Structure 1
Amino acid sequence: MGIRVVRTAPGEAVIEMELRREMLNGFGIAHGGMIFAFADSAFALACNSHEDNGTITVASGVDVNFLRPAMQGQTITAHAKAVHEGRSGVYDIEVTAQGPNDPEPVLITLFRGRSRTIPKPAK
């Protein structure tokens, strides 16, 4: 997908990606599945940004709200932040879009992820 990791810290992650033509839907705007996968990637990084103690954290459910469209050539940024961490967690991810001529990024998606920490599967 061409995702760049900007920053990770315990319970937090920031990533960015440029929207390309192949990421658009039939209406010429960013495909919701692409935005979802992008936000989910930030969620995964934030959930697993702690030291490895023999566990992994996976999604147990999400809610996603698409607020505005994003267009080809815009850079989208996802900022994931823990709201609650523990065996079960809650993370909020805000996705913004900004084009080369846009003065400020615009909020396009709100994603709330619920997580569960489980033992690392044996290989």
Structure 2
Amino acid sequence: MSDTGIDAPLMHPILRNDYAAKWLGIEVLKVADGHATISMELRQEMLNGFGIAHGGMIFALADTAFAMSCNPHTGSTDTITVAAGVDINFLKPGIPGRTLTAVANRRQQSGRSGIYDIQILQSVPGAEDEVLAEFRGRSRTIPKRP
């Protein structure tokens, strides 16, 4: 573990105490201003009664990428950026054992409000990744609570 308390080679400060992201097994692939790419393997305990990805698991992955893309990867001492609202569209079923990747990008920022698009991809053996879902987040920057 580094002296910052972050125990992964590539991490984001908001994940330091994010136990849900740890349980999901999220791996940070890339972080930059207004961008985050993360992934996780779709495990059996993440499936619904139909044997496909529970929508909440896909949403949680997208929401984590959203949070990482709208908060500075260098950290902030005075503000946090949170979700003001989101929409998600599920396009295909998530298949157990596949890797899901969320790619988040800021589309627009105006004052304390922002719009972010997150595409959730699913690995396909022997083929290109396919789009599993599309997520749009609306953010709001607020003062950090003491």
Q: Common fold, TM-score beyond 0.5?
A: yes
Q: Partners of 1:50 and 1:15 in 2: how far apart?
A: 13
TM superposition shift of 1:56: 0.5
Relative contact order, higher structure (CA 8 A, sep 6+):
1
Gaps of 5+ in 1: none
Structure 1 segments, 4+ long, off by >3 Å, are none
CA RMSD after TM alignment: 1.1
Q: Is the Cα contact below 8 Å between 1:8 and 1:49 reproduced in 2? A: no
When normalised by structure 2's length, the TM-score is 0.80
Q: Does 1:91 align with 2:136?
A: no
> Partner of 2:26 in structure 1?
3
Task: Provide the secondary structure at the position in 1 that maps to 2:127.
Answer: coil
Q: Could you tell me how far 1:57 is from its partner in structure 2?
A: 0.2
TM-score norm. by structure 1 comes to 0.94
User: Structure 2 vs 1, CA of residues 5 and 22 (structure 1 numbering), >3 Å: closer, same or farther?
Assistant: same
Q: Take 1:53 and 1:61, find their aligned partners in 2: how far apart are those partners?
A: 24
CA displacement, residues 45-102 of structure 1 (integer Å, 9 cap, x when unaligned): 0010255251100000001000001111100000000001230000000000014x24
Q: Which of 13, 22, 25 is residue 48 of structure 2 equivalent to? A: 25
After superposition, the C-alpha distances for 1:1-50 in whole angstroms (9 at most, x for unaligned) are 10000010000000000000000000000000000011000000001025
Number of residues of Structure 1 aligned to a counterpart in Structure 2: 121
Which structure 2 residue ranges, 5 or more long, are not aligned? 1-23
